[in-house]
């Protein structure tokens, strides 16, 4: 229809569904693009719905409160289909319970999982699948693991998922899925980490990790897309502005926020740093300034991380 102009995400989602059907995939894990209720991926009827967390992101489209965003995300809950809630607050939990009650959907709130964060990954000593060693590390993965374990436990009623398969999957995430950008070490001497966290929830966890980093010479290379509300993120960055050096950069995509514009916005919020349009130039200069015992975090956008080239040696 000439009046229908699908977005890039809507068009590629349609292409993906068609490809999955042609390839006759056994299982497809579909992630919503924005919210849930009106998202293009919401045309499917899954065997399990999962809502990971609620963060004040895309507020122009989803609403400015946690409950408003929860209503949008609860839109993926389907009649009679179980739903796992990974993280919640009292007010958002009420939204999820109300929606699940209306749709007759069994609702499961993921219980906290005990875990030890180590430099080689996280260890989960007491799960429904026994002791599990997770390749992905950091405090944020404790929350993710709780969601995963709850979801997999429910899926065992429909699939033959062994404890050994869970352990193998958790221990080899990047190799099996090619996942990149979840507190990923891309170089050492100085330690250089990249993370695709780009909203308030992601930055809350990253700020905690930065504070716990022992290095006395910390640097952050950041860049965002232009349509991102940065207010809450820069409130969080203000907590560490006295202990890090900032490098403002820009994703190379059309949506990328200009590095100088970002630098100006930061200065108006009392945060000062260096402006380098190209993230690889920024990282090179940050690594030189950090020295071999320093620490660098690159974050702010999936597009920024995608621009990274080989920046050093790992191992």
Top pLDDT among 178 and 2 is at 178
User: What pLDDT, on a 0 to 100 scale, did the predictor assign at position 313?
Assistant: 47
Total number of residues shown for the chain: 315
Residue ending a domain, among 130, 155, 178, is: 178
- Whether 133 and 194 share a structural domain: no
Model confidence pTM above 0.85: no
**Among 67-81, 181-195, 271-285, 299-313, whose mean pLDDT is lowest?**
299-313
Q: Is residue 253 part of a domain?
A: yes
- Burial class from Cβ neighbours inside 10 Å (0-12, 13-18, 19+) for residue 238 reads middle
Q: Who's near 269: CB < 8 A, 6+ residues apart?
A: 234, 238
pLDDT digits (tens, 9 = 90+) for 137-178: 888 788 899 999 999 999 999 999 999 999 999 999 988 988
| Distance in angstroms (rounded) separating the CA atoms of residues 29 and 25 | 10
- Whether 216 and 279 share a structural domain: yes
CATH number for the domain harbouring residue 280: 3.90.190.20
- Whether 191 and 299 share a structural domain: yes
- Whether 200 and 171 share a structural domain: no
Q: Is residue 130 part of a domain?
A: yes
- Whether 288 and 194 share a structural domain: yes
**Is the pLDDT reported for residue 123 higher than 90?**
yes
Q: Is residue 10 part of a domain?
A: yes
Number of independent structural domains in the chain: 3
**Is the pLDDT reported for residue 132 higher than 80?**
yes
User: What pLDDT, on a 0 to 100 scale, did the predictor assign at position 229?
Assistant: 83
Q: Is residue 148 part of a domain?
A: yes
**Is the pLDDT reported for residue 46 higher than 80?**
yes
User: What pLDDT, on a 0 to 100 scale, did the predictor assign at position 312?
Assistant: 56
- Whether 149 and 94 share a structural domain: no
**Is the pLDDT reported for residue 311 higher than 70?**
no
**Is the pLDDT reported for residue 6 higher than 90?**
no
Q: Which of 228, 184, 227 is nearest to 206 (CA)?
A: 184
Residue ending a domain, among 178, 212, 230, is: 178
Q: Is residue 46 part of a domain?
A: yes
User: What pLDDT, on a 0 to 100 scale, did the predictor assign at position 126?
Assistant: 93
User: What pLDDT, on a 0 to 100 scale, did the predictor assign at position 63?
Assistant: 59
Predicted confidence band of residue 315 (pLDDT cuts 50, 70, 90): very low
Measured between alpha carbons, how far is residue 215 from residues 47, 181, 209, 296 in Å? 46, 21, 12, 10
Q: Is residue 313 part of a domain?
A: no
C-beta atoms surrounding 53 within 10 Å: 18
Average pLDDT over residues 184-195: 91
**Is the pLDDT reported for residue 55 higher than 50?**
yes
Average pLDDT over residues 274-301: 96
- Whether 147 and 230 share a structural domain: no
- Whether 19 and 126 share a structural domain: no
| Distance in angstroms (rounded) separating the CA atoms of residues 207 and 6 | 37
pLDDT digits (tens, 9 = 90+) for 76-98: 999 999 999 999 989 999 999 99
Average pLDDT over residues 274-279: 96
* Contacts of the segment 214-218: beta carbons below 8 A, 24+ positions apart: 215/190, 215/191, 215/290, 215/293, 215/294, 215/295, 217/190, 217/289, 217/290, 217/291, 217/293, 217/294, 217/295, 218/243, 218/244, 218/245, 218/290, 218/294, 218/295, 218/296, 218/297
Q: Are 138 and 180 in contact (CB under 8 A)?
A: no
User: What pLDDT, on a 0 to 100 scale, did the predictor assign at position 140?
Assistant: 79
The residue whose two tokens read 């993906």 is 16
pLDDT digits (tens, 9 = 90+) for 10-39: 999 999 999 999 999 999 999 998 888 999
Domain span holding position 217? 184-306
Q: Which of 121, 96, 116 is nearest to 106 (CA)?
A: 96
Q: Is residue 141 part of a domain?
A: yes
Q: Would you state the torsion angle of the CA atoms of residues 223, 69, 86, 230, taken in this order, to the nearest 10 degrees?
A: 20
- Whether 34 and 83 share a structural domain: yes
Q: Is residue 314 part of a domain?
A: no
- Whether 95 and 4 share a structural domain: yes
CATH number for the domain harbouring residue 70: 3.40.1190.10
- Whether 79 and 147 share a structural domain: no
User: What pLDDT, on a 0 to 100 scale, did the predictor assign at position 3?
Assistant: 77
- Whether 98 and 7 share a structural domain: yes
Residue ending a domain, among 138, 163, 178, is: 178
């Amino acid at each position: 229809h000439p009046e229908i102009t699908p977005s890039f995400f809507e068009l590629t989602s349609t292409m993906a569904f068609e490809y999955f059907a042609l390839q006759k995939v056994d299982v497809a894990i579909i992630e919503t693009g924005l919210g849930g209720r009106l998202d293009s991926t919401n045309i499917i009827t899954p065997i399990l719905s999962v809502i990971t967390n609620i963060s004040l992101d895309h507020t122009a489209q989803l609403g400015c409160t946690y409950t408003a965003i929860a209503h949008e995300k609860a839109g993926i809950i389907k009649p009679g289909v179980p739903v796992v809630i990974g993280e919640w607050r009292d007010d958002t939990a009420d939204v999820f319970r109300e929606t699940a009650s209306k749709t007759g959907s069994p609702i499961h709130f993921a219980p906290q999982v005990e875990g030890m964060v180590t430099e080689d990954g996280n260890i989960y000593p007491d799960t429904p699948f026994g002791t599990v060693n997770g390749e992905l590390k950091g405090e944020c993965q404790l929350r993710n693991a709780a969601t995963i374990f709850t979801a997999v436990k429910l899926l065992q009623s429909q699939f033959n998922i062994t404890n050994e398969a869970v352990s193998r999957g958790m221990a080899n995430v990047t190799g099996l899925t090619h996942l990149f950008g979840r507190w990923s070490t891309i170089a050492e001497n100085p330690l250089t980490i990249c993370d695709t966290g780009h909203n308030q929830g992601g930055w809350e966890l990253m700020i905690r990790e930065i504070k716990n980093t022992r290095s006395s010479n910390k640097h952050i290379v950041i860049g965002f897309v232009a349509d991102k509300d940065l207010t809450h993120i820069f409130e969080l960055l203000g907590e560490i502005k006295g202990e890090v050096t900032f490098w403002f950069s820009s994703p190379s995509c059309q949506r990328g926020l200009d590095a100088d514009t970002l630098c100006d916005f930061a200065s108006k919020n009392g945060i000062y740093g260096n402006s380098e349009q190209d993230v690889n130039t920024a990282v090179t200069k940050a690594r030189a300034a950090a020295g071999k015992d320093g620490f660098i975090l690159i974050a702010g956008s999936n597009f920024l991380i995608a621009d990274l080239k080989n920046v050093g040696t790992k191992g």
